[in-house]
Structure formats: C-alpha cells, structure tokens
C-alpha cells in the first residue's frame, strides 16, 4: 500500500492506465454467495471497479457474476467516481454491496 496514494495519484506522482468507476445494476441471486455474504433474491448491486474503460468495467462485473452466481437483470449504470482503494497492477473490482428489494 502506497502512503498518501490519493494525493500522489491526483498530482501525478503515481500513474495508472486505469480509470475508476462505480457500477449499479439490478441482479438476481439464485443461491447464497459466500464471498459476498449475499442471500438469494433480487437486489441492486453496487460495485467499484478499476478498469481501462467503462466497457471493460462492465465485462469485469459480468464475469464476476458468472463465476459467483448473480445474474444481471437490467441496465447497468456507470459513473466515474473517486476511488477508495488504490489502483493495482491490473483491473479489479471491490466493495460489492447488495440492496435487496421485492418485485
């Protein structure tokens, strides 16, 4: 972990080829997802992603869904946002939050 990484990133002391995004989308969860402590049901998923562009961020979100057990059921909202974790050597996602709702 780099000390004061946000300031160093802002002022160009460290560089990254990645941009930071927050993605929000409705999902359906068929069975409990242990990695996220997510129970079955319908929910809005919010996730933060470091990626080269918004298309790659969507692919990352879809790939994680396929491998963990949630299915995207609607459109994906994409926002450029300030990061809470420093960029890595490769694209990655973090801070998955599920907000459940009844249909």
Q: Which of 21, 27, 22, 23 is nearest to 99 (CA)?
A: 27
Q: Note the pTM of the prediction, 2 decimals.
A: 0.89
Please list the residues that pair with 79 across neighbouring strands.
Answer: 22
Strand partners, 48: 22, 94
Q: What is the pLDDT of residues 15-64, one digit of tens each?
A: 899 999 999 999 999 999 999 999 999 999 999 999 999 999 999 999 99
All structural domains of the chain with their residue ranges: 5-10+17-100
Residue of 32, 30, 31, 57 lying closest to 46 (CA atoms): 57
């Amino acid at each position: 972990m780099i000390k004061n990484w946000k300031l160093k990133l802002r002022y160009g002391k460290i560089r990254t080829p990645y941009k930071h995004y927050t993605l929000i989308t409705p999902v359906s969860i068929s069975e409990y997802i242990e990695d996220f402590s997510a129970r079955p049901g319908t929910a809005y998923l919010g996730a933060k992603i470091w990626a080269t562009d918004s298309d790659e961020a969507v692919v990352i979100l879809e790939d994680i869904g396929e491998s963990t057990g949630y299915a995207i059921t609607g459109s994906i909202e994409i926002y450029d946002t300030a990061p809470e974790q420093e960029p890595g050597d490769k694209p990655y996602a973090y801070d998955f939050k599920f907000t459940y709702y009844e249909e």
